[in-house]
């Protein structure tokens, strides 16, 4: 088995992003900030008791609001946020409170999902292997719709249900340009808000009749959980692997399970477009995959978890790794749970990534407040931002 090297240089997806820090917060931190917001507005629990706000979250919410208002930071959401809100916050009313804070800080700005990042990193990696010019133009890292997190662009199409004819021009003429555009804005807001907060209990029966099936996400996650449980069973049978080349094993399984289908598809696309598409040699293939940032993050986290024979894999681990494989590689700071933070911060192979990992909400609040304003926050610059000197403040000691 070939070794999975730590690359001398990472090969990033060819993406552009704002010149201000991107700050990723796990769902549990949005939940705590929602409590802080409700408490500050004078709300109480259903029992009449005060809402309990954990230390640091009032300050974190205030710092995030200031940074967002002053355009000193962007707080993107992810596909995992979108999926976890429905599963981790069972009450529609509570989902609404959490969605209030998510909407306020993010403006429905989303990171791409891990499958999209895999495809872009494969393209960039193969371009480097072949010594070829970039095979696609740089794309924005962030999108303004939950659909972006699933590899799709948001928007609306208007057509006649019977004939299939496009009716947008007709509707625009009937309403007038301004009224039509205002209608689009209202429709987009309604769609994004409902996608984020999920349905009310009274709406579910009708939605299911129309094909609503949120458990589909859980089925896919359970299948991927089974893959990690299979790995755990193998390691239990051969425990010496935990003390030896475990990362090489996890790396190989990660590439095979999470990336090889996309890799083959991309080679086929290159062939169709007349681009170089020869299969790299084995050593080149390992180097190619090892240079992909999201693969490095996922392999590192899974290796740490599998190293511990007492680790109990849950679907939450699968979702967290998906989210953090993108967020740790493509954001500038992230606040996650203690287990995930330890997996990331203790890995020497990830130190070149440079993302800030605060211990708690108070540390994140202080770091956010250290962001300077930038002259042109609407600009787009290549990722990683740290390649642009003097645009990212140093993390506090």
Instruction: Examine the fold and report which residue of 179, 209, 239 is the final residue of a domain before the chain moves on.
Output: 209
The answer to whether residue 7 is domain-embedded is no
The answer to whether residue 5 is domain-embedded is no
The answer to whether residue 397 is domain-embedded is no
Tokens of 167: 């009716």
Residues 193 and 321 in one domain: no
Residues 23 and 78 in one domain: yes
The answer to whether residue 6 is domain-embedded is no
* End-to-end CA separation in angstroms for the chain: 41
Mean pLDDT (whole number) for 145-155:
85
Residues 105 and 163 in one domain: no
Residues 85 and 178 in one domain: no
Q: Count of domains in the chain?
A: 2
Q: Kindly report, residue by residue over 291-322, the tens digit of the pLDDT.
A: 999 999 999 999 999 999 999 999 999 999 99
The answer to whether residue 4 is domain-embedded is no
Instruction: Examine the fold and report which residue of 161, 186, 209 is the final residue of a domain before the chain moves on.
Output: 209
The answer to whether residue 162 is domain-embedded is yes
Over pLDDT 90: what percentage of the chain?
Answer: 67
Q: Kindly report, residue by residue over 7-60, the tens digit of the pLDDT.
A: 778 999 999 999 999 999 999 999 999 999 999 999 999 889 999 999 999 999
Residues 114 and 133 in one domain: yes
- pTM exceeds cut of 0.85: yes
Residues 275 and 168 in one domain: no
Residues 154 and 134 in one domain: no
Instruction: Give me the domain span that covers residue 132.
Output: 15-148+211-387
The answer to whether residue 27 is domain-embedded is yes
Mean pLDDT (whole number) for 73-89:
88
Residues 155 and 144 in one domain: no
Residues 200 and 305 in one domain: no
Residues 161 and 179 in one domain: yes
Residues 138 and 162 in one domain: no
Residues 302 and 332 in one domain: yes
The answer to whether residue 8 is domain-embedded is no
Instruction: Examine the fold and report which residue of 209, 242, 257 is the final residue of a domain before the chain moves on.
Output: 209
**Residue 386: predicted pLDDT:** 58
């Amino acid at each position: 088995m070939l070794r999975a090297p730590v690359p001398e240089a990472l090969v990033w997806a060819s993406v552009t992003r704002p010149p201000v820090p991107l700050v990723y917060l796990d769902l549990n931190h949005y939940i705590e900030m929602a409590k802080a917001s409700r408490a500050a507005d004078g709300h109480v629990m259903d029992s009449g008791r005060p809402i309990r706000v954990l230390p640091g979250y009032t300050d974190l919410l205030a710092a995030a609001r200031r940074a967002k208002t002053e355009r000193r930071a962007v707080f993107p959401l992810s596909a995992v946020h979108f999926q976890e809100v429905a599963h981790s916050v069972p009450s529609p009313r509570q989902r609404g409170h959490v969605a209030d804070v998510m909407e306020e800080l993010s403006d429905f700005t989303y990171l791409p999902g891990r499958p999209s990042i895999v495809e872009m990193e494969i393209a960039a990696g193969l371009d480097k292997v072949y010594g070829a010019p970039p095979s696609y133009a740089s794309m924005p890292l962030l999108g303004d719709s939950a659909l972006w997190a699933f590899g799709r662009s948001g928007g609306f199409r208007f057509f006649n249900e019977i004939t299939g004819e496009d009716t947008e021009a007709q509707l625009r003429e009937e309403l007038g340009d301004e009224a039509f555009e205002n209608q689009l804005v209202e429709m987009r807001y309604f769609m994004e808000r409902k996608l984020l907060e999920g349905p009310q209990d009274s709406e579910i029966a009708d939605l299911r009749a129309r094909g609503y099936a949120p458990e589909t996400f859980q089925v896919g996650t359970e299948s991927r959980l089974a893959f990690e449980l299979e790995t755990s069973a193998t390691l239990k049978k051969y425990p010496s692997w935990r003390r030896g080349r475990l990362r090489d094993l996890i790396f190989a399984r990660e590439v095979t399970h999470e990336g090889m289908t996309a890799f083959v598809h991309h080679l086929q696309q290159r062939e169709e477009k007349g681009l170089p598409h020869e299969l790299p040699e084995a050593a080149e293939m390992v180097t190619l995959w090892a240079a992909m940032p999201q693969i490095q993050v996922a392999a590192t986290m899974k290796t740490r978890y599998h190293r511990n024979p007492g680790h109990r894999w849950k679907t939450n681990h699968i979702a967290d790794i998906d989210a953090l494989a993108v967020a740790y590689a493509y954001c500038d700071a992230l606040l996650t749970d203690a287990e995930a933070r330890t997996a990331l911060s203790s890995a020497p192979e990830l130190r070149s990534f440079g993302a800030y990992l605060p211990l708690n909400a108070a540390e994140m609040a202080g770091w956010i407040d250290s962001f300077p304003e930038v002259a042109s926050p609407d600009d787009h610059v290549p990722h990683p931002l740290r390649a642009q000197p003097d645009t990212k403040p140093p993390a506090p000691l």
